[in-house]
Amino acid sequence: MSWSSPGGPGRLAGDGAVVARAPAKVNVHLAVGPLRSDGFHELRTVYLAVSLFDTVTVRPGDGLSLTVTGEGTTGSGADAVPTDRRNLVWRAAELLAEQAGVPADAAITIDKSIPAAAGLAGGSADAAAALVALDALWGTHATRGELTALAARLGSDVPFSLLGGVALGSGRGEQLSPVLARRRWDWVLGIAGEGLSTPVVYAELDRLRAAGRVPDGGELSAPDPVIAALRSGPVPALAAALGNDLQPPALSLRPDLRRALRAATSAGAVGALVSGSGPTVAALAEDEDSAVRLTAALAGEGVYRTVRAVHGPVPGARLVG
Ligand code: ATP
Q: What pLDDT, on a 0 to 100 scale, did the predictor assign at position 15?
A: 82
Distance CA 114, CA 121 (A): 8
Is 287 part of any domain? yes
Distance CA 142, CA 135 (A): 7
- CA of residue 68 relative to chain centroid, distance: 18
Distance CA 69, CA 161 (A): 20
Are residue 163 and residue 212 in the same domain, yes or no? no
* Catalytic-residue membership of 157: yes
Is 8 part of any domain? no
Distance CA 164, CA 293 (A): 27
Q: What pLDDT, on a 0 to 100 scale, did the predictor assign at position 56?
A: 98
pLDDT in tens, 8-62: 454 555 688 999 999 999 999 999 998 888 888 999 999 999 999 999 999 999 9
Last residue of a domain, one of 133, 154, 179: 179
Are residue 43 and residue 152 in the same domain, yes or no? yes
Is 321 part of any domain? no
Are residue 166 and residue 241 in the same domain, yes or no? no
- Structural domain for 123, as ranges: 18-179
Supply the residue whose CA is at minimum distance from atom 12 of ligand 1: 117
Q: What is the mean predicted confidence (pLDDT) over 280-304?
A: 95
Instruction: Kindly report the CATH number assigned to the domain that includes residue 208.
Output: 3.30.70.890
Residue 69 or residue 74, greater confidence: 69
Tell me the whole-structure pTM to 2 decimals: 0.94
Q: What pLDDT, on a 0 to 100 scale, did the predictor assign at position 233?
A: 83
Q: What pLDDT, on a 0 to 100 scale, did the predictor assign at position 194?
A: 85
> Residues with Cβ < 8 Å from 138, sequence gap 6 or more?
6, 9, 10, 96, 97, 100, 102, 106
Q: What is the mean predicted confidence (pLDDT) over 169-196?
A: 92
Number of domains into which the chain is organized: 2
- Closest approach atom of ligand 1 to CA 156: 3
7 falls in which pLDDT band (50, 70, 90)? very low
The predicted complex's ipTM stands at 0.94
Containing 135, the helix (H) or strand (E) segment is helix 122-138
Last residue of a domain, one of 179, 207, 234: 179
| Catalytic choice (54, 111, 126, 157) | 157
Are residue 219 and residue 140 in the same domain, yes or no? no
Instruction: Kindly report the CATH number assigned to the domain that includes residue 160.
Output: 3.30.230.10
Q: Using alpha carbons only, what angle is made at residue 142 by residues 138 and 145, rounded to the nearest 5 degrees?
A: 155
3-state secondary structure at position 178: strand
Is 264 part of any domain? yes
Supply the residue whose CA is at minimum distance from atom 19 of ligand 1: 81
Distance CA 105, CA 202 (A): 36
| Catalytic choice (25, 105, 135, 245) | 25
Is 9 part of any domain? no
pLDDT in tens, 218-232: 888 889 999 999 998
Last residue of a domain, one of 157, 179, 201: 179
Are residue 46 and residue 157 in the same domain, yes or no? yes
- Closest approach atom of ligand 1 to CA 112: 28
302 falls in which pLDDT band (50, 70, 90)? confident
3-state secondary structure at position 176: strand
320 falls in which pLDDT band (50, 70, 90)? very high
* Catalytic-residue membership of 126: no
Is 211 annotated as ligand-binding? no
Is 10 part of any domain? no
Are residue 109 and residue 125 in the same domain, yes or no? yes
Supply the residue whose CA is at minimum distance from atom 23 of ligand 1: 87
